[in-house]
Amino acid sequence: MAFRAPFRTMATAARSSLRVGLIPADGIGKEVIPAAKQALEAVSADLPKLEFYDLIAGWECFTRTGVALPEETIETLKDGCDAALFGAVSSPSRKVVGYSSPIVQMRKQLDLYANIRPVRASNVDMIVVRENTECLYIKQETLVVGEHGKEARATRLITEHASRRIGQMAFELALSRPRKQVTIIHKSNVLSVTDGLFRETVRGVPKLAGVNGRYDGVTIAEQIVDSAVYRLFREPEIYDVMVAPNLYGDIISDAAAALVGSLGLVPSVNAGDSFVMGEPVHGSAPDIEGKGIANPLASIRSAALMLRHLGYAGPADRIDNAVDAVVREGQVMTPDLGGKNSTNDVVAEVLKRV
């Protein structure tokens, strides 16, 4: 397979407009996505004309219509949008006939194969790069009654194709960073076939046809997933870019969020080669829904990260710097960060600094 640069490295084509789909979905998504929209509007002078499309998806959508991800939403994203922002989804913990998580569906239908989650704090500066399309998340499960009662089985899928392109994304991200290190997270000492394929494929990325020494300056490290979590809390400074299969990446990125004090601070993007969707890492938080105290910073940072992957680094920096200033000063904070302020209070503080 020849080298193919991931989406984030492509030059942004001249646009007369920047069309962004807004999908608040469930819970506090309806409170934080409007905050992200305001942040984008605050830097609109440095962007093409912004056009927003209000779209629906999620568990609440399913309970009203019987569909978690309407065709109209997908068609608008595919044919009418350059990027999107997604809030949160309240998927039930039990099986519900006809329901499937809309964010998982969108990742598949838009081929958003990489979930990219930067985590920064005083002694932490890392990016978790999570493969987004396979592993156990293909949701092929069976339940049968065997000799000793019920037996539940799940199929895990790891392919060379998906492992290669998530590896490329990780190496490209490492190139843009001072340390230039990629750590491959796996459990191939036990899962020698599936994790073994992931590990070897990612290690082989620098040897792809057409790379021509592109990644010569990138150091490759490895870590078994359980010890990776241990070291994440003991010595997080050892990590730069971590790349992992879907399940491990999901767990590690949420664990890494604890290092910065709150999931409400951690952004992400779901990226492919031609589309990017910002998504705050936190969930739908039904316990605080409607109280006006949801932390909007992860959503605002996700909007900045979305802009950065589209090639608009200047406006992205303005948003990130404003958020950094609010966090550093610590005077206006939502309750998850020990403060007493509302969502709107925090948004206003960010916008003043943008």
Amino acid at 270: N
Amino acid at 68: A
How many angstroms separate the CA atoms of 320 and 297, rounded? 10
Q: How many CB atoms lie within 10 A of CB 14?
A: 6
Label each residue of 25-48 as H, E or C. ECCCHHHHHHHHHHHHHHCHHHCC
User: How does strand 114-121 pair with strand 141-146?
Assistant: unpaired
Torsion sign across C-alpha atoms 309, 120, 117, 81 = negative
How many angstroms separate the CA atoms of 39 and 262, rounded? 20
* φ, ψ of residue 141 in degrees (nearest 5): -125, 150
Query: Which residues form the catalytic set?
Result: 137, 187, 226, 250, 254
Helices vs. strands in the chain: H and E counts, helices first = 11, 12
In degrees to the nearest 10, what's the CA dihedral of 285, 297, 29, 166?
A: -100
